[in-house]
Amino acid sequence: MEYSPADEILIEEKWQELVEACRKAKICRRDDDWQFVRRAYFLAKEAHKGVRRRSGEPYVIHPIEVALIAVREIGLGKKSVVAALLHDVVEDTDYTVEDIAHAFSPKIASMVDGLTKMSGVFNADSSEQAEYFRKVLLTLSDDVRVIIIKIADRLHNMRTLGAMPHNKQIKITSETIYLFVPLAYRLGLHAIKSELEDLCMKYRFPEEYAAIQQKIEDTRGERQQYIERFMAPIREVLDRNKFQYEMTARVKSVYSIWNKMRRKEIPFEEVYDLFAIRIVFKALPFPSEKTQCWQVYSCVTDIYTPKPDRLRDWISIPKSNGYEALHSTVMGPDGIWVEVQVRTERMDDIAERGFAAHWKYKHASIAAEEDGLDKWLKKVRDALNSPTENALEFLDNFKLSLYKSDVVVFTPKGEPQSLPYGATVLDFAYEIHTKIGDHAIGAKINHRTMPVTARLNSGDQVEVITADNAHPKAEWLDAVVTSKARQAIQDFLKREHDNNLDYGMELLQQRLAEHNVTLSGRVLRKLMPAYDCRNKDELYSKIGAGIIKLDNLDKLLKENSSRKILKFWKLLIPGSTVEEDADIDLDDEAVSLDDTVVAEDGDEPEFVMAECCEPIPGDRVVGYRDPQSGRIIVHKSTCDTLIRLAAQFGDNIIKEEDIKWSQQKAVSYLASVEIRGIDRTGIILDLTKLITQDFSINMRAISVQSHDGIFEGTISIYVQDIDSLNALLDNIRKIKGIDRVKRLLNT
Ligand code: MN
């Protein structure tokens, strides 16, 4: 299939746009350079000939757009433009990496190879996927540009996501939130990170997105007036002091406004830092950039009083992703707090375009020392070199490390060691050596004895105390933030667990044999609930570790099979009714996907409410087919667990249309509600009466704490759908003394 004349025009226009962008960025200085880029364009055009994207446009438009993002929005060079143009060639056409190496260079070929592998990450099944990811990170550690081009590729796919079916949109947006947003953040690609977040929100929460956008639009005029009023006196002073600057007002992204509204539970109107003022100035060769930033700051605070606790100095200590600026919040006209950001042009370039700009200045600067990004890349490399058993876990841990900023602590000899924010003695110990971590029992922090779980602050001097017979404990996992420590502890526990597992199974078989019983699924179904185990592995390992003693095995075997677990299943399977005396505790019998729990009848897929987010009818939901059981687990669209699952196993996402809330009103769902108010006599009584008598709703649990005349509580209730829950919440709000009522979202 050939391109139509209309296609040819479209492609030629796009290509000219790229040529123009390269010219403006001055990345092709010599004729050779132009030849290089042009050859890549022709190869891409030829290779993708006749193929169209879902939107209908010729496929080759996509790689050109990705190259455009790379050069125009990120500021990458010609090799990256070439790699971007070729990024889908090996993946989607008959051309091989060797072809590219021949036609271009081994360097370009290895970049394209990295990009090709990266696209396998989310398509392969779980185990392969994790392995792919490792490979990708290896590419990252020797050429960060590959990841950046991949982010550009993702950005263009997100910009054109409208053409995709809904379940694909969920998969792609989940991957984006799960991985690409944190990566973009970590690489300092601020503008792209924001746009990705906004695009995710636009496709996942279209109504909310549109509503906020509308409100930003509606308030524009008013805001503009205020901003002018705020800036005028600053302009005057900066002009008088002969600063060359640009002052702009930046409205927060839709996503970050939405985030703030949710986090603080406030309406749009109460988001006070809706916009920030940014002053970007041209620094003179003398005095230092830092001094000049403080001079600008001083001009601003001569006019408006700063809020002392809101001063952020990211010049003395830049953020670990390279961000530098001074942020201050000042009291503007009409008693409104306004954030003011001060940066030099160089800092602004880094803040907006991240990594690429960072290199540009780095070579120019005298500080040859390793900076935050170099150190981070080194850590990634180290982590990759220590093989782990579970690559998916590695992925999760790695992701966690993307957002953290650093603290700097010192060894007894005074050597600095940088650790992520929130790091504890254990992180420090494992950072030095796995053996030290494994045997740590405490530490001297600034010469004071502290537990291994103590958190470290910048400037602490830390000496780890070890003992030969000490070893890692499961609780330690809650006290570490570095992937290195987490991995080492998990590795140890896994080894211990495996030993216990084998030993436990053996022990159980022996003990059962004493009663002439063989180990079977039926026996396990009896024992697991009796010993509070979610699955058989937990049972075996607890027996192996001596946590479960099996003293009353005799008695248990004679009892009838557990009544409790059956009731539990009835509760979760739509279409069944909840028994009145549902006095079960769901936390102890969490939904098990273990093969020992057998579904009653198999034809129709079973729908199970996810217990991580407890959706109820009326909630926006997404279904996830559990590959092992075939059950469809229903999550709320906002659920973090869902985002993780959709990112890693996107093909198991069920189309929204396929999930319909059952019309049978007999089913009840668990919802948790948080209540806060003034403590007064009888308030609990009023509350429980309203719920159980007026609304005839079953309560599962209620817990209330009261302090200083304020009471705070959580109530778990069984409701039929979101309407009945909202009706109840409205009525609770009317109770005298109640100040705040909201559903716990568990996400
Ligand atoms: Mn692509």
Q: Which of 691, 675, 669, 697 is nearest to 586 (CA)?
A: 669
Please give the full DSSP string across 391-423, using - where no structure is assigned: HHHHHHHHHHTTS--EEEEE-TT--EEEEETT-
The values of phi and psi at residue 126, to 5°, are: -50, -50
pLDDT computed for residue 559 by the predictor: 59
Q: Is residue 630 located within the same domain as residue 525?
A: no
Q: Which of 460, 461, 441 is nearest to 451 (CA)?
A: 441
Q: Please say which residue of 516, 540, 558 terminates a domain.
A: 558
What's the CA-to-centroid distance between 323 and ligand 1, angstroms?
29
The answer to whether 397 and 483 have CB atoms below 8 angstroms apart is yes
Q: Which of 231, 228, 208 is nearest to 220 (CA)?
A: 228
What's the CA-to-centroid distance between 180 and ligand 1, angstroms?
14
d(CA 388, CA 80): 32
d(CA 315, CA 325): 6
pLDDT computed for residue 584 by the predictor: 34
Q: List the shell of residues around ion ligand 1, using CB closer than 5 Å.
A: 88, 153
Q: How confident is the model at residue 609 (pLDDT cuts 50, 70, 90)?
A: confident
Question: Where is average pLDDT lowest: 294-308, 481-495, 512-526?
Answer: 512-526
Q: Which domain holds residue 695?
A: 669-743
* 358, part of any domain: no
pLDDT computed for residue 122 by the predictor: 53
Residue 586 has pLDDT above 80, yes or no: no
Q: Is residue 529 located within the same domain as residue 641?
A: no
* 250, part of any domain: yes
Residue 118 has pLDDT above 70, yes or no: no
- Note the pLDDT tens digit of each residue in 416-465: 777 877 899 999 999 889 999 999 988 998 888 888 999 998 778 899 99
Q: Is residue 541 located within the same domain as residue 585?
A: no
Q: Is residue 591 located within the same domain as residue 631?
A: yes
Residue 405 has pLDDT above 50, yes or no: yes
For the chain, the average pLDDT equals: 79
d(CA 390, CA 374): 26
What's the CA-to-centroid distance between 198 and ligand 1, angstroms?
20
* 403, part of any domain: no
Sequence-distant (≥ 6) Cβ neighbours of residue 470 within 8 angstroms = 438, 439, 440, 441
Percent of the chain topping pLDDT 90 = 20
Amino acid, res. 412: P
Q: Is residue 177 located within the same domain as residue 137?
A: yes
Q: Which of 122-126, 381-385, 452-456, 533-537 has the highest mean pLDDT?
A: 452-456
pLDDT computed for residue 367 by the predictor: 43
What's the CA-to-centroid distance between 54 and ligand 1, angstroms?
13
The answer to whether 328 and 340 have CB atoms below 8 angstroms apart is yes
pLDDT computed for residue 565 by the predictor: 36
Residue 582 has pLDDT above 80, yes or no: no
Q: State mean pLDDT over 223-234.
A: 92
Q: Please say which residue of 304, 319, 353 terminates a domain.
A: 353
d(CA 713, CA 684): 10
What's the CA-to-centroid distance between 153 and ligand 1, angstroms?
5
Residue 639 has pLDDT above 70, yes or no: yes
* 414, part of any domain: no
Q: Is residue 608 located within the same domain as residue 700?
A: no
pLDDT computed for residue 404 by the predictor: 54
Q: State mean pLDDT over 521-541.
A: 80
d(CA 616, CA 619): 6
Q: How confident is the model at residue 361 (pLDDT cuts 50, 70, 90)?
A: low
* 231, part of any domain: yes
- Note the pLDDT tens digit of each residue in 60-81: 999 999 999 998 888 888 888 9
pLDDT computed for residue 531 by the predictor: 81
What's the CA-to-centroid distance between 210 and ligand 1, angstroms?
28
The answer to whether 38 and 49 have CB atoms below 8 angstroms apart is no
- Is residue 611 among the annotated active site residues? no
Which has the higher per-residue pLDDT, 585 or 257? 257
Q: Is residue 283 located within the same domain as residue 323?
A: yes
Which has the higher per-residue pLDDT, 56 or 13? 13
Beta strand 698-707 with 669-678 is unpaired
Q: How confident is the model at residue 403 (pLDDT cuts 50, 70, 90)?
A: low
What's the CA-to-centroid distance between 581 and ligand 1, angstroms?
56
Chain center to CA of 61: 30
* 359, part of any domain: no
Which has the higher per-residue pLDDT, 361 or 554? 554
Which residue is listed with tokens 């200045």?
361
Q: Is residue 533 located within the same domain as residue 606?
A: no
Q: State mean pLDDT over 342-346.
A: 92
Residue 644 has pLDDT above 80, yes or no: no
- Note the pLDDT tens digit of each residue in 306-318: 888 788 888 887 7
Q: How confident is the model at residue 744 (pLDDT cuts 50, 70, 90)?
A: confident
Q: How confident is the model at residue 390 (pLDDT cuts 50, 70, 90)?
A: low
Chain center to CA of 717: 30
Looking at residue 718, which CATH number applies to its domain?
3.30.70.260
- Note the pLDDT tens digit of each residue in 201-226: 999 899 999 999 999 999 889 889 99
Residue 498 has pLDDT above 50, yes or no: yes
Which residue is listed with tokens 């009291």?
331
Rounded to two decimals, the pTM is 0.63
Residue 105 has pLDDT above 80, yes or no: yes
pLDDT computed for residue 167 by the predictor: 83
Measured at the alpha carbon of residue 292, what is the angle toward residues 288 and 293, in degrees to the nearest 5? 115
pLDDT computed for residue 592 by the predictor: 32
d(CA 572, CA 591): 9
Query: Exposed, middle or buried, 52 (CB in 10 Å: 0-12/13-18/19+)?
Result: middle
pLDDT computed for residue 85 by the predictor: 93
pLDDT computed for residue 225 by the predictor: 92
Q: State mean pLDDT over 134-156.
A: 77
pLDDT computed for residue 651 by the predictor: 76
* 47, part of any domain: yes
Q: Please say which residue of 298, 328, 353 terminates a domain.
A: 353
What's the CA-to-centroid distance between 396 and ligand 1, angstroms?
24
Q: Is residue 572 located within the same domain as residue 547?
A: no
| 94-103 contacts at long range (C-beta below 8 A, 24 or more positions apart) | 94/47, 95/43, 95/47, 103/39, 103/43
- Is residue 236 among the annotated active site residues? no
Looking at residue 10, which CATH number applies to its domain?
1.10.3210.10
Q: State mean pLDDT over 488-504.
A: 85
Structure tokens at 625: 């087919």
Q: Is residue 51 located within the same domain as residue 149?
A: yes
- Note the pLDDT tens digit of each residue in 656-700: 656 666 544 456 777 888 888 887 777 878 888 888 888 777 777
Tally the domains of the chain: 5
Residue 128 has pLDDT above 60, yes or no: no
Question: Where is average pLDDT lowest: 74-78, 98-102, 335-339, 572-576?
Answer: 572-576
The catalytic position among 33, 57, 91, 640 is 91
pLDDT computed for residue 401 by the predictor: 59
Q: Is residue 140 located within the same domain as residue 17?
A: yes
Residue 229 has pLDDT above 90, yes or no: yes
* 457, part of any domain: no
The catalytic position among 17, 33, 57, 92 is 92
- Note the pLDDT tens digit of each residue in 167-201: 888 888 888 887 788 778 877 788 899 999 999 99
Q: Is residue 528 located within the same domain as residue 598?
A: no
pLDDT computed for residue 120 by the predictor: 56
Residue 512 has pLDDT above 90, yes or no: no
| H or E stretch at 250 | strand 245-251
